[in-house]
Amino acid sequence: MQFLKVTAFTLPFLLVAACGEVDSTPVPLTEKQSAVLMKELNGKVAGKPVNCISDFNTQSMIRVSDDILLYRVSSRLVYRNNLRSSCSGLARDNDIIVSEQFGGQKCRGDLLRLVDRTSGIPGGFCSLGEFTPYRADKSPD
């Protein structure tokens, strides 16, 4: 029984380690993905990246691609997160995202795990990068 507990705890780490070096070069966005990104960030200006954002203020998470997530706080503020490595299948929007985080914040380095919505079979692991805020310009037109 103890062996099963140790195996269940260490297996995800061994799988990640077995992958070896990961190519972190982002795949170019499709036309549809570019349109989603432009729609959400249009008219907003990028700010200084931060390591963490509050879970309590986030209204929705938008999957742009296997490399990019957006966290919408309001119509005036969206955080862009370029994942530290590509998360295969994230853009399909078929899998459930299980966030492995501590406390009420999402932070750089937190793990995301994909789980098949139908079978419950776990999929890929990804790690969050820095959160770049995009704010709407406050100046009048």
Is 25 domain-assigned?
no
Is 127 domain-assigned?
yes
Is 62 domain-assigned?
yes
Is 2 domain-assigned?
no
- What is the number of structural domains in the chain? 1
Query: Which structural domain range is residue 65 located in?
Result: 44-141
2 — pLDDT class (breaks 50, 70, 90): low
Does the pLDDT at position 74 exceed 80? yes
Is 9 domain-assigned?
no
The span from the CA of 15 to the CA of 92, in Å, is 22
pLDDT of residue 22: 47
How would you classify the pairing of strands 122-127 and 105-107?
Answer: unpaired
The span from the CA of 80 to the CA of 129, in Å, is 9
Is 131 domain-assigned?
yes
Alpha carbon distances (Å) from 87 to 3, 25, 71, 78: 30, 12, 17, 21
Is 136 domain-assigned?
yes
pTM (whole model) above 0.95: no
Is 102 strand, coil or helix? coil
Is 21 domain-assigned?
no
Proportion of the chain above pLDDT 90, given as a percent: 46
Eight-state DSSP code of residue 50: B
Strand partners, 52: 107
Does the pLDDT at position 72 exceed 90? yes
pLDDT of residue 19: 46
The span from the CA of 45 to the CA of 42, in Å, is 9
